[in-house]
């Protein structure tokens, strides 16, 4: 069959109907274990000589369907669905690095990722080497941090919460000659807007809690890469530490992904309109949105993203007190962390999602105390603008 468009792949996925029930939507396999036909069949599955499922911590048909779907979307060979975005990042890190090793990461990442890297991996004697500021780092500055114990490079683009854009191809050009994998957290963009594996990355991770699920009703994570790489991560970490996704969450994410293209189009067009409006507002000091020509990473974003996504950060004149007035008085926008939901969410990174950084670390990573983050939903953009406009004039 002729290769179909991305939007078509997203709707159809990879499953074919069950031969008897002929469901349009595949059922949820809520089972912890699976029957063997006989003792030889069971033993054969364990040895890899017979086909079949064993136990849901190892694999499950509903989770497999989601993994196949995401692998297709990200143009990877294989994927692993995990219990959360954090468990995806922890699984990859701990599968690739051991005590005495180090890795290089961009300095502006989700606050939970920063805590994992800067505290918990350090406890395991795995050293993070942050690139400050990371988004527009030259090849030489990244290269200077590599040594024989460097096990991976890690970047988030666009980054949480500053929307800094890092050049995936440039980071890949440092990783490749050393044969070190480049990991990209593609949560903010989703595979609809950006496909890091086609730009030189080796592994993609996601918080599926966000745009992939799309409806704010679950927690989940994804790892995508070559089959060799995902087999290694499974064997080294996932199977025996057990951070796997439940079949119910996998089913919900498969359902959410069907509307990924239309949601990302609407998130992106809404966010662009709101960012342009904020930029023109007299009470707004600075707007961070990769779709704005004024954004320092606009040219890179244009090169590696289809559109610019639904996340905006901005600073208002009057700093934290002025920001609090907005957060305490919005009516349509909801004061909550997380992102990528249908509803517009607003939050304050310094005191919320990025409070895992010290003030000095935040300053070095470019996360100002007055920064407000907006996850633009799929409502009518004029209603979101009206809500923000009212609070900005209080």
339 is an interface residue for ligand LCS by CB under 6 A: yes
Closer CB to ligand LCS, 188 or 308, in the complex: 188
The least CB distance from residue 183 to ligand LCS, in Å, is 11
Closer CB to ligand LCS, 26 or 158, in the complex: 158
Asked if residues 376 and 270 have their Cβ atoms less than 8 Å apart, the reply is yes
186 is an interface residue for ligand LCS by CB under 6 A: no
Closer CB to ligand LCS, 62 or 160, in the complex: 160
Q: Is residue 57 among the annotated active site residues?
A: yes
82 is an interface residue for ligand LCS by CB under 6 A: no
The number of residues in the chain equals 394
In a 3-state reduction of DSSP, which class is residue 189? coil
**Which residue shows structure tokens 């009212």?**
390
Residues 290 and 164: their CA atoms lie apart, in Å, by 8
Q: Is residue 185 among the annotated active site residues?
A: yes
In a 3-state reduction of DSSP, which class is residue 207? strand
Closer CB to ligand LCS, 181 or 221, in the complex: 221
85 is an interface residue for ligand LCS by CB under 6 A: yes
Cis amide linkage into residue 161, ω under 30° from 0: yes
User: Angle at Cα 177 formed by Cα 140 and Cα 160, nearest 5°?
Assistant: 60
The least CB distance from residue 205 to ligand LCS, in Å, is 7
The least CB distance from residue 335 to ligand LCS, in Å, is 12
216 is an interface residue for ligand LCS by CB under 6 A: no
Q: Which stretch binds ligand LCS (CB under 6 A): 191-199, 258-266, 304-312, 334-342?
A: 334-342
Residues 345 and 16: their CA atoms lie apart, in Å, by 37
Q: Is residue 362 among the annotated active site residues?
A: no
Helix boundaries (H) for the chain? 6-12, 39-47, 61-74, 85-96, 111-115, 121-123, 139-143, 168-178, 190-193, 227-233, 239-241, 247-257, 260-279, 298-304, 319-329, 359-364, 381-392
Closer CB to ligand LCS, 161 or 370, in the complex: 161
- Give the active site residue among 195, 210, 266, 362: 210
In the stretch 87-116, what mask flags binding to ligand LCS with x, by CB under 6 A?
-----------------------x-xx---
Q: Is residue 255 among the annotated active site residues?
A: no
Closer CB to ligand LCS, 219 or 272, in the complex: 219
Residues 192 and 202: their CA atoms lie apart, in Å, by 18
Residues 208 and 250: their CA atoms lie apart, in Å, by 10
Of positions 78, 107, 160, 304, contacts ligand LCS by CB under 6 A: 160
338 is an interface residue for ligand LCS by CB under 6 A: yes
- Nearest residue relative to ligand LCS (C-beta): 85
What are the structure tokens assigned to 255, written together?
Answer: 């359902």
In a 3-state reduction of DSSP, which class is residue 9? helix
Q: In the complex, which residues of this chain contact ligand LCS (CB under 6 A)? A: 84-86, 110, 112-113, 156, 160, 185, 187-188, 207, 209, 219, 221, 337-339, 353
Q: Please list the active-site residues.
A: 57, 110, 185, 210
């Amino acid at each position: 069959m002729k290769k179909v468009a991305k939007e078509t792949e997203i709707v159809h996925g990879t499953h074919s109907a069950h031969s008897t029930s002929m469901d349009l939507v595949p059922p949820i396999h809520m089972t912890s274990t699976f029957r063997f036909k006989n003792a030889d069949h069971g033993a054969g599955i364990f040895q890899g000589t017979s086909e079949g499922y064993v136990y849901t911590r190892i694999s499950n048909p509903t989770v497999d369907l989601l993994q196949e779907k995401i692998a297709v979307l990200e143009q990877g060979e294989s994927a692993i669905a995990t219990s959360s975005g954090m468990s995806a990042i922890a699984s990859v890190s701990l599968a690739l690095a051991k005590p005495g090793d180090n890795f290089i990461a961009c300095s502006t990442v989700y606050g939970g990722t920063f805590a994992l890297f800067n505290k918990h991996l350090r406890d395991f004697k795995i050293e993070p080497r942050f690139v400050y500021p990371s988004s527009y780092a030259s090849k030489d500055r990244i290269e200077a941090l590599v040594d024989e114990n460097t096990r991976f490079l890690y970047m988030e683009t666009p980054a949480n919460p500053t929307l800094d854009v890092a050049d995936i191809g440039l980071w890949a050009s440092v990783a490749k000659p050393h044969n070190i994998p480049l990991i990209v957290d593609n949560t903010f963009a989703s595979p609809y807007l950006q496909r890091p594996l086609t730009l030189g990355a080796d592994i993609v991770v996601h918080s599926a809690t966000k745009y992939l699920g799309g409806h704010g009703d679950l927690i989940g994570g994804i790892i995508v890469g070559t089959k060799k790489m995902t087999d290694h991560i499974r064997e080294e970490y996932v199977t025996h530490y057990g951070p796997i996704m439940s079949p119910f969450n996998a089913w919900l994410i498969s359902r959410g992904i069907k509307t990924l293209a239309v949601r990302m189009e609407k998130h992106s067009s809404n966010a662009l309109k709101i960012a342009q409006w904020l930029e023109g507002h007299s009470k707004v000091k600075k707007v961070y949105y990769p779709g704005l020509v004024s954004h320092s990473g606009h040219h890179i974003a244009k090169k590696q993203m289809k559109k610019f996504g639904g996340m905006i950060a901005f600073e208002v004149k009057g700093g934290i007190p002025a920001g609090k007035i907005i957060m305490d008085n919005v009516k349509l926008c909801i004061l909550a962390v997380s992102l990528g939901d249908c509803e517009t969410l607003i939050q304050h990174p310094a005191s919320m999602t990025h409070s895992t950084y010290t003030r000095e670390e935040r300053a070095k990573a470019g996360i100002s105390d007055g920064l407000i983050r907006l996850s633009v939903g799929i409502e009518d953009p004029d209603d979101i603008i009206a809500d923000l406009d009212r609070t900005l004039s209080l």
